[in-house]
Structure 1
Amino acid sequence: MESLARIAALETEIAQLRHAVTARATVDQAMGVVIAYAGVTPETAWEILRDVSQHTNTKLREIAEHIRQWPHCEWLPDEVRHALDAAVPARAASAPATGHVPDR
């Protein structure tokens, strides 16, 4: 019985890790969209995504999914668009101008 419980726990952990990897890939792709859109560093793109998430009271991975799809569907929910339009200049103004995007 103990081994069955252990197997079930490991299967649950594997499912959680798969979900985390998928969510991280979505966030990374959304960061790329923000970098291309705003001309910011990866660190600033992360901060922008976090700001949009906090200001819309929406999970970051959901914001990332909207922004990841934005170049293809050319649409963002109004609330996300307004929060992004506010976050980009606020973060870009406070970010150091490096002239290049550093490696991650």
Structure 2
Amino acid sequence: MDQALGVLIAIHRTAPAAGFEVLREVSQHTSIKLHAVAEMVVDRALGQSLPEPVERELCQAVQRRPGQDGAPGRPR
């Protein structure tokens, strides 16, 4: 879980407090267990692709959360 939060912070510039909420939302919207979503996010950072529904929900959840600088979270 901590590694997935680190990925969200590093890649998507998500504020640390919002990272867990992003993972939770993706889990709820895709009906995939939270720990499995976290593993997928870490695997994505290692070069694997995400299933399309997970990728879509992750992008949407990140965009709904402010980044570390208060701006909307966006991939670099």
Say yes or no: TM over 0.5: yes
Matches within 5 A, 1:54-93: 54-92=28-66
Q: Structure 2, unaligned stretches of length 5 or more?
A: 71-76
Matched, 1:30 2:4: yes
Matched, 1:49 2:28: no
Aligned partners of 2:14 and 2:47: how far apart in 1?
22
Aligned partners of 1:89 and 1:61: how far apart in 2?
21
SS of residue in 1 equivalent to 2:66: helix
Q: CA offset at residue 58 of structure 1?
A: 0.8
Q: Partner letter of residue 64 of structure 1? A: A
Q: CA offset at residue 96 of structure 1?
A: 7.4
Q: Partner letter of residue 92 of structure 1? A: P
| Matched pairs, number | 71
Runs of 4+ off more than 4 Å:
none
- With normalisation by structure 1, the TM-score equals 0.61
Aligned partners of 1:75 and 1:39: how far apart in 2?
19
Q: Percent identity?
A: 39
Higher relative contact order (CA 8 A, sep 6+): 2
Aligned partners of 1:53 and 1:83: how far apart in 2?
9
Matches within 5 A, 1:11-30: 27-30=1-4
- With normalisation by structure 2, the TM-score equals 0.82
Q: Partner letter of residue 54 of structure 2? A: V
Q: CA offset at residue 92 of structure 1?
A: 2.3
Q: Structure 1, unaligned stretches of length 5 or more?
A: 1-26, 98-104
Aligned partners of 1:40 and 1:76: how far apart in 2?
18
Aligned partners of 1:75 and 1:92: how far apart in 2?
24
Computed over aligned residues only, the root mean square deviation of the Cα atoms, in angstroms, reads: 2.1
